[in-house]
Structure 1
C-alpha cells in the first residue's frame, strides 16, 4: 500500500504521522504554499484524505482530487466535512468514535471540579479564606445523551448528582429524566454540559435564554463544539453575573479565543484537548489507519459515517 497517496490536512499527533508515513505515500498539506499548488502537483495521486477538527474537507477539496476514495477524520465530530458532496460522489467518510469517549467525559468532570473548587485560579486567592460550593449532589443536565453524554452521566452519578438530559430522542434505557427542550433542562440544572453533535439545529443551542434559565449560580460546560454556544452572549452573561461560570474546551472561532474569556476568573479554558491523552491519540490513529486499509483492500469499513 506504499503507493497509495494519503493527504493530511494539518499537523496531528506525531504517532499518526509516523504510522501513515510507514504505510502510505503521505502528503502533508502544510508543506505546500496552498491547496491549489498541492492539487496541481499531486491531486491525481491522492486516494484518501485524513482530516481533523482543525482542518476538514470541503467541496472544493473533494472536487480537486479525482481519485479520492475515502475521507477519514481523526476525530469523532465531522461537521467540517462536506457530507453532501461525499454522498454525491460516493466517497465514504469515517470517524473515530468510542475510543475517546472516556477522555472527553473525564475532562467534562475536571472542568466542573475546577470551577467549583477554583483549582485553576490565581494563587492570590490563597491570601484570604475562600469558601466554594461543591460538585457533589448538584443537578447535572446534559445536552446530548450519546456515548459521551452517557459517560459523563455515569461519572456525575458517582458524585451523587441527579442526572437529566435533552436529546434528539428519549433514551429510556438510561433511566435519566428526559426534557423535550433545552430551556426547561437548564432551568432545572445547576451544571449544564454540552455533549451533542454540531448540526444546523444545535448551533447556538445554548443561547441567552438558556443561560438565563441556568442562572447566576449555574455552571456551563462545553466539550462539544464551539458553535453550540452563542459566545458573545456567554461573555455578557458571565460579566453581568447572570451565569455563574463556564468551563470550555471548544470555542466558536477556534483556534481564536475571545479576549474577554481570558480575563474572567469564573471561566476555565482548555485548548480543545478533550481527547489528547497519549493512549487515546494512538487508538484514534490506529482506527483511522484501519479504515484506510479496509478501504484500499475493499473490505468493510470499521466506523463509517456514510
Structure 2
C-alpha cells in the first residue's frame, strides 16, 4: 500500500499515519513534480489536487486527513471515478481541539496577551487592562461539530452566545440546551445577528456559499471595537475588508488560525495590526491526530477489502 502525502505542511500527519498504518509505505509528493509516483492513496495536505495530479498519480482513493476537501477538484475526481473521502471532526476529537484553539484566540485578544508580554519586557506590573469574556455577546457562525463544541465552552465562560447556521434550528438537535431558539439565526439573518455582536467567531467550512461571507458589510453591522476569530478557512473572511477594519479601529483585533495563503507571508501588513496568529494548528493535537489516523486507516483498509467507503465528499 503506497500513500502519497501531497504538500509540505502538517509534519505530524506522517508520524500519526505510520503508527496507524504500519503496513503502508508513505511517500511525499510535490504538486510541481514532473513525474510524481503512482500511489494507492493520495492525501492532500494543504496542496491543490487537480485532474492533472490525479492522472499522474492514479490513486484508488483521495483521502483527506481531516474535514476540508476544498483543495480537491471533486468534479475531476468524480469524472475519473476516484472517490474522495474525509475524516469527520466530531468523531475524532478534532472539533474539540479546534474549539479550544478558538477559545485561546478569544482570551488572548480580550486579555491583551501581546501587550502583557510587552509589559513584562518593560518591567511594568498591573497593566494592560483587558476585557472579560463573561457577559460578552458572541456570535458563532457554523453549527457543525466544531461550532457545537465551541458554544459549550463559551457557555461555561458565561458568554451570551448566538448561533448562525445554514438550516433551521430544529435541524440542529445538538443546539438544544446550548442556545435557545431566540438566539439562533439562519445564515440569511447574519447581519441581524451581528447587530449586537462583540465577538464574531467563524468556524464553518469553506464552500462556494461561504467564500467571502464575512466582509465590510458584516464588520459595519457589528458595534465598533469588536473582535473577529477565524478557525474555519481564510477565504471565508474578505482579507482587504479585515485589514481595513483593523486599521480604522472598526475592529479591536483579530485571532486567526487560518489564513488566505498558507503559510502566511511574515511581512504581511495584516501582522502589523492587533492580530493573534497561529499556523493552522487548531486540530493538531496528539489526541485528535491519533483518533484521526485510526479513522483514516479504517477507511483506507476498506478500499483494499472492497468495502464501501465512509464519509464521501458530495
Normalised TM-score (structure 1): 0.89
Partner deviation per Cα, 1:260-298 (whole Å, 9 max, x = no partner): 22222x221111110111111222222222211111111
Deviation of 1:17 after TM superposition, in Å, equals: 5.0
Q: Do the aligned partners of 1:15 and 1:282 also contact (CA within 8 Å) in 2?
A: no
Q: Whole-Å Cα distance in 1 between the matches of residues 34 and 81 of structure 2?
A: 23
Q: Does 1:298 align with 2:306?
A: yes
Q: Work out whether 1:261 is the aligned partner of 2:254.
A: no
Residues 199 and 300 of structure 1: CA distance in aligned 2, closer, same or farther (over 3 Å): same
**Distance in structure 2 (CA, Å) of the matches to 1:65 and 1:73:** 16
Match of residue 6 from structure 1: 3
In the other structure, the counterpart of 2:49 is 57
Aligned to 2:230: 222
Find out whether 1:196 has 2:218 as its counterpart: no
Q: Is the 8 A contact 1:57 1:81 kept in 2?
A: yes
TM-score by length of 2: 0.86
- Which residue does the alignment assign to 2:106? 112
- Would the aligned equivalents of 1:249 and 1:274 in 2 still touch at CA under 8 Å? yes
Task: Tell me how far 1:162 sits from its aligned partner.
Answer: 1.9
| Structure-1 separation of matches of 2:132 and 2:20 | 45
Distance change (3 Å), C-alpha of 1:294 and 1:120: farther
Q: Secondary structure at the match of 1:300?
A: coil
Partner residue of 1:85? Answer: 76
1:232 corresponds to 2:240: yes
Change beyond 3 A, Cα 1:261–1:6? same
Q: How many residues are aligned here?
A: 293
Structure 1: tracts of 5 or more residues without a match: none
Q: Is the 8 A contact 1:215 1:244 kept in 2?
A: no
Q: Which residue of 1 aligns with 2:192?
A: 184
Query: 1:54-203 to 2 correspondence within 5 Å?
Result: 54-66=46-58, 68-97=59-88, 98=90, 99=92, 100-121=94-115, 123-125=117-119, 127=124, 129-172=127-170, 173=173, 174-175=175-176, 176=179, 177-179=183-185, 180-203=188-211
Kept in 1: contact 2:18–2:24 (CA 8 A): no
Q: Give 1:14-53 correspondences, 5 Å limit.
A: 14-19=14-19, 22-30=22-30, 34-38=32-36, 42-43=37-38, 46-52=39-45
Q: CA deviation at 1:251?
A: 0.5
Report the Cα distance in structure 2 between the residues aligned to 1:115 and 1:248, rounded to whole angstroms: 11
Which is worse superposed, 238-247 or 15-24?
Answer: 15-24
**Contact preservation (8 Å) 2:197, 2:223:** no
1:124 and 1:48, CA in 2 relative to 1: closer, same or farther beyond 3 A? Answer: closer
CA contact (8 A) 1:15 1:285 kept: no
CA contact (8 A) 2:115 2:128 kept: no
Contact 1:226 1:254 in 2 (8 A): no
Unaligned runs of 5+ in 2: none
Cα RMSD, aligned residues only: 2.0
- 1:26-67 Cα offsets, whole Å, 9 max, x none, are 32214xx943222xxx33xx2211122x1142121123334x
Listed one character per residue, the Cα deviations across residues 146-188 of structure 1 (whole Å, up to 9, x for unaligned) are 1111111111111112221222102333243222322222222
**SS at structure 2 position matched to 1:27:** strand
Which residue does the alignment assign to 1:210? 218
**Residue 191 (structure 1) shift:** 0.9
